[in-house]
Chains A and B, each alone.
Chain A
Amino acid sequence: MVLVYINSTTGLSKAALETVTYGKKLSGDVTVITNGSASNEQLAQLGEYGASKVLVDRSVDGEDPQQLARLVAAVADQVSASTVIFSHDIYGKAVAPRLSVRMKAGLVAGAIAIPEADGSVKVNVFSGKAVGYVKVASAKQIISLLPNSIQPEKTGSACSVEETSGLAGASAISVLETKKPEGNIPLPEAELVVSAGRGLKGPENWGMIEELATALGAATACSRPVADIGWRPHHEHVGQTGVAIRPNLYIAVGISGAIQHLAGVNGSKVIVVVNTDTEAPFFKAADYGVVGDAFEVIPRLTEAVKRFKATQH
């Protein structure tokens, strides 16, 4: 029996669908536990991705990992789960370690594939410069799945949704304010990302990056120096000290490709590098390279994308 925790406070994210799909690949019997305000109709859709049943506690806001650990542990006990699955996002990173101690279950943090034949699970180590295979020694195990490692798959039909309450206890964390720009695609979940660095010369030049991102339906990101000097917000900074992402497509514009930046993006499936400098180290990590002036290349690329999109409808 597999238990999957998802956060559904802002609806069903792609990461949530991935974790349910992952659970289905491990077991024919998948229970989902969630908190938050998604409607029963929305939650029932998780059945299409492999859930047999969804339990929801609408009294829990999901902001306190201690509360969530109590909730998930209690449900794991109720349904006799041998495996608990999280997304390796901000919730999984906070709750899964707590649950590991609470259930005395080994944690595989940041899985990038379904378990191997010997039961070991592949994870990135050394900031993506190598991979390791983690073996769990305990009878129960917890796996947190790195977003974008597998694709959601529809295999079934809508399932039942039941309300639960009284298992989580009180929250120790009070939220004073949430600052979240509306309408943007969250970077860790984005399949396509357009990123730019110091080569853009100033924050006023980001318009063309945003236009390219809009044409593609991509999220925007940036390199560390650009976030440090305040050209772009910190939550866009990808790299070793910022966010690590693994989109299907990463387009890097005017970023030289320092080792610390690569550590945050080397899980990307396809990398396109646009740089004036033929010697930029990023070209060594790229699948496609364009040597040229971003101020000419990017508007041209945006037009090409628009032409392509027009042929797709």
Chain B
Amino acid sequence: MNILVCISKAPDTTSKIAFTNNSTQFDENGVQFIVNPYDEWYALVRALELKETIGGNVTIVTVGTATDEAIIRKALAIGADEAVRIDADPKDAYFVAMQISSYAKAKGFDLVMTGKETINYNGSQVGGMIAEAMDLPFVSLATKLDANGTKLTLEREIVGGVQVVEVQTPAVISCAKGMAEQRIPNMRGIMAARTKPLTVIPAEAVEDLTSYATYSMPNAKSSVKMIDPSNMDELVALLHNEAKVI
């Protein structure tokens, strides 16, 4: 099975979130970037497991600048066979999806996998956009994936439960928790990653449909009000009269 896994960089979850340039840009100063966890732990690792059981090839693709090569090498160290970097500083999900679908269209991938969202912009947009641009079926929030010939059997999250569905390849899948377990790259993987093929291709001209006009930090919580553990009637009264939530 020929699989394409889309990866994005994301700030490490413990990063300090701050903005610069008159609050119009994320301040990358001192921020450690990682492979977006949903892309890495779930999409990439499940793709590798499928390759190990049924054979095939796993390519990773990212839209980014030369500074993203560290996260590309990390994904190669985990076990991807080759990598493609589409050379651009992406501005919105539409731009990213157009670049990836344009690259993937002629390559005959059986499966295109993404994480369910990135942990920085949380939009859940790129997978569905790629699917539409390639005119392929899309199964989102998948928590299990098995392949049998051209038939994919998946579990996906639905409101308050899960659903088992079937779809034919080629298809686009967005991956959520449950799909696979995180893999830590070993020394051999890290060494091998240095010589695996990394192709850089130019980006196509695509107009941005959206942009972030500005960012701000949410208002800080006022300090916590402590309640006597023996007086739960007081807590209920506060939730009713002061917080007005019950």
B148 at the interface (CB under 8 A from A): no
Q: Are B233 and A93 in contact (CB under 8 A)?
A: no
Q: Which of B125, B132, B239 contacts A249 (CB 8 A)?
A: B239
Q: Are B209 and A178 in contact (CB under 8 A)?
A: no
Residue of B131, B158, B212, B217 contacting most chain A CB atoms (<10 Å) = B158
What DSSP secondary structure best describes chain A's contact surface? mixed
Interface residues of B in 149-204 (CB under 8 A from A): 153, 157-168, 171, 177-178
Please judge, given known A-B contacts A95-B128, A241-B177, A286-B224, whether A304 and B211 are in contact too, CB under 8 Å.
no
Q: Which of B132, B233, B237, B245 contacts A97 (CB 8 A)?
A: B132
For the complex, give the distance between the alpha carbons of A11 and B178 in Å. 29
For the complex, give the distance between the alpha carbons of A269 and B153 in Å. 39
Q: Are B125 and A97 in contact (CB under 8 A)?
A: yes
Q: Are A287 and B129 in contact (CB under 8 A)?
A: no
B22 at the interface (CB under 8 A from A): no
A174 at the interface (CB under 8 A from B): yes
Q: Are A285 and B221 in contact (CB under 8 A)?
A: yes
Contact with B along A168-190 (1 / 0, CB 8 A): 00001111111111001011110
Interface footprint category on A: 35 or more
Please judge, given known A-B contacts A93-B124, A126-B17, whether A107 and B246 are in contact too, CB under 8 Å.
no
Residues of A close to B178: CB separation below 8 A: 234
Residues of A close to B13: CB separation below 8 A: 127, 240, 259-260, 263
Q: Are A135 and B210 in contact (CB under 8 A)?
A: yes
Q: Which of A127, A172, A249, A283 contacts B245 (CB 8 A)?
A: A249
A300 at the interface (CB under 8 A from B): yes
Binds A, one of B52-60, B69-77, B82-90, B139-147: B139-147
Residues of A close to B177: CB separation below 8 A: 234, 237, 241-242
Residue of A nearest to B139 (CB): A173
A125 at the interface (CB under 8 A from B): yes
Q: Number of contacting residues on B, CB 8 A? A: 80
Binds B, one of A17-25, A62-70, A74-82: A62-70
Please judge, given known A-B contacts A65-B140, A130-B215, whether A249 and B129 are in contact too, CB under 8 Å.
no
11 more A-B residue pairs beyond the given contacts A132-B214, A174-B165, A304-B235, with a C-beta to C-beta distance below 8 A: A101-B97, A104-B209, A106-B210, A110-B123, A126-B120, A134-B210, A172-B168, A184-B160, A248-B245, A287-B221, A296-B229
**21 A-B pairs in the complex with CB atoms less than 8 angstroms apart:** A94-B138, A97-B127, A98-B131, A101-B98, A101-B133, A106-B92, A108-B210, A109-B124, A120-B213, A130-B19, A134-B213, A136-B209, A181-B161, A186-B160, A248-B245, A249-B246, A270-B245, A288-B226, A290-B227, A304-B232, A304-B236
List the interface of chain A (C-beta within 8 A of B). Answer: 63-66, 69, 89-90, 93-102, 104-110, 118, 120, 124-138, 172-181, 184, 186-189, 191-192, 216, 234-235, 237, 240-242, 244, 248-249, 259-260, 263, 266, 269-270, 272-273, 283-293, 296-297, 300-301, 303-305, 307-308
List the interface of chain B (C-beta within 8 A of A). Answer: 11, 13-14, 17, 19, 37-38, 92-94, 97-98, 119-129, 131-133, 136-141, 143, 153, 157-168, 171, 177-178, 207-218, 221-222, 224-227, 229-230, 232-233, 235-240, 243, 245-246
